[in-house]
Structure 1
Amino acid sequence: MNFSAEAVKTLAVRAVLFDMDGTLVDSTAIVEQVWSEFAGRYGLDIEEILRTSHGIQAKDTVRRFAPEGADLDALAEELGEMERTRTDGIVALPGAADLLESLPSDAVALVTSADRILAGARMQAAGLQMPATTVTAEAVTRGKPDPEGYLMAAALLGAEPADVVVFEDAPAGIAAARAAGMTTVVVGDAGGEAAEGLWQIADYSAVTAAARLDASGRRVIQLRF
């Protein structure tokens, strides 16, 4: 992996990994609506939930905030059903569709804290093609900020972590990508302190990708920002 010298204008990688919510798909309104209803129903602290839940598996947030003695599996399933049935207002980030379509299908993966059904629903609602390689909540034993999901995706694509770039937006996901030893590009302005020192973009409007062969005959994806 290498960067250009001037303001990180180009990046050469073997594989590209994307988070979903907040990174490819803008689902903020739906997420806040669902969590607000859920918190109100069970008397939970909605402000603290919204502050800490972004990028985290729903079941982990439920485990943290649910009342003592609650059926965690039942609550997580209830929340998941609420999320899966609401897609109004979900849109793709500018440039996301074009970038996904320009990438070689065997060099891109989605790594999300959503389950497979929810991920499929939101990607479809946003008009985005689901990558052939996906790592959803069911596939891992430890969610973000643990690096398991990103390491699994890189292995599925046959890429070393040092040759991978991750597009992420949330502190938990940024921490996961960095712990995996992968270059991380932060999308949007929700990364907080975790985004400090990293390359940041507002969206994909100015991002392009082109594949070429390097001197050894291996494919390299050159991203331009």
Structure 2
Amino acid sequence: MTTLTCRAIVFDMDGTLVDSTAVVERIWSDFAAEHDLDVVELLAFAHGRQTHDTVRRFLPRLPEGEARALTDGLQAVEAGGREGTVEIPGAGAFVASLPTDRVALVTSANLDLARSRMAEAGVPWPTVVLASEHVAVGKPAPDGYLLAAELLGVDPGEVVVFEDAAAGLEAARASGASVVVVGDHDGPAADGLPRVTGYDGVTVRVLDDGALELTLP
């Protein structure tokens, strides 16, 4: 058992609260085939990052206007292809158990896509949500997590972040938050961090001073 004390909890979305692997891999595989790219390399980079950052990384010579249009098209396809998105085990019930003014979502997806996936998976929509439109510099930069802490009115060091991908784990660690790995990522960004496979058995208790005590199985 691992116990963490914090003032707020912040979640990534894909791979952390919802499992959209099948949808994401299908869309990026089609993109890789269309542009003659290595799909394994592309998927490894894309996970946890904003769509536009991936487009720029693999099509660096594309004019910015065309890259933006391509990004918008990919996001529209993702939002329309939500079928097959499911919750990470126990995610919906766990988020619902938390004080609503202590929870935020920081996702590299845009707002429409985030709403679509959270609804499809049945995970409650947090009070504070930061999507790609709200964060100029995406993960692995810590900007999204720093802004979430500010909006929740807490110091970043008083936050616990749940994340699953290297870019997000790097961002969360750089923000000064405590970090919990969701899933099986075992790269350097996950070294030394507590880990859960889902939220069944994860509990939260509000202490007398208002702090949150998280217990991880």
Normalising by structure 2, what TM-score? 0.95
What's the counterpart of residue 95 of structure 2?
Answer: 100
What's the counterpart of residue 149 of structure 2?
Answer: 154
What's the counterpart of residue 223 of structure 1?
Answer: 214
Distance 1:58 1:195 in 2: 23
Q: Unpaired runs of 5+ in structure 1?
A: 1-6
What's the counterpart of residue 46 of structure 2?
Answer: 53
Distance 1:210 1:87 in 2: 33
State the SS of the aligned residue for 1:110: strand
**What is the aligned-residue RMSD (CA, Å)?**
1.1
5 Å-filtered alignment, 1:124-163, equals 124-163=119-158
For residues 172-208 of structure 1, what are the alpha-carbon distances to aligned partners after superposition, in whole Å with 9 as ceiling and x for unaligned? 0000001000000000012422111111111111101
Identity between Structure 1 and Structure 2 (%): 50
Distance 1:198 1:89 in 2: 30
Query: How far does residue 68 in structure 1 lie from its aligned partner after superposition?
Result: 2.5
State the SS of the aligned residue for 2:200: coil
Distance 2:144 2:155 in 1: 14
Distance 1:100 1:194 in 2: 24
State the SS of the aligned residue for 1:103: coil
Distance 1:190 1:78 in 2: 29
For residues 23-57 of structure 1, what are the alpha-carbon distances to aligned partners after superposition, in whole Å with 9 as ceiling and x for unaligned? 00000111000101111122222111011111000
Distance 2:24 2:186 in 1: 17
Counting matched residue pairs gives 214
Distance 2:87 2:62 in 1: 39
State the SS of the aligned residue for 1:159: coil
Distance 2:181 2:131 in 1: 20
For residues 118-167 of structure 1, what are the alpha-carbon distances to aligned partners after superposition, in whole Å with 9 as ceiling and x for unaligned? 00000000011110100110001100000000000000000101110000
What's the counterpart of residue 4 of structure 2?
Answer: 11
2:25 matches 1:41: no
Distance 1:68 1:43 in 2: 14
What's the counterpart of residue 21 of structure 1?
Answer: 14
Distance 1:13 1:67 in 2: 41
Q: Unpaired runs of 5+ in structure 2?
A: none
What's the counterpart of residue 72 of structure 1?
Answer: 67
| Deviates further, 64-73 or 198-207 | 64-73
Normalising by structure 1, what TM-score? 0.92
5 Å-filtered alignment, 1:206-221, equals 206-214=201-209, 219-221=210-212
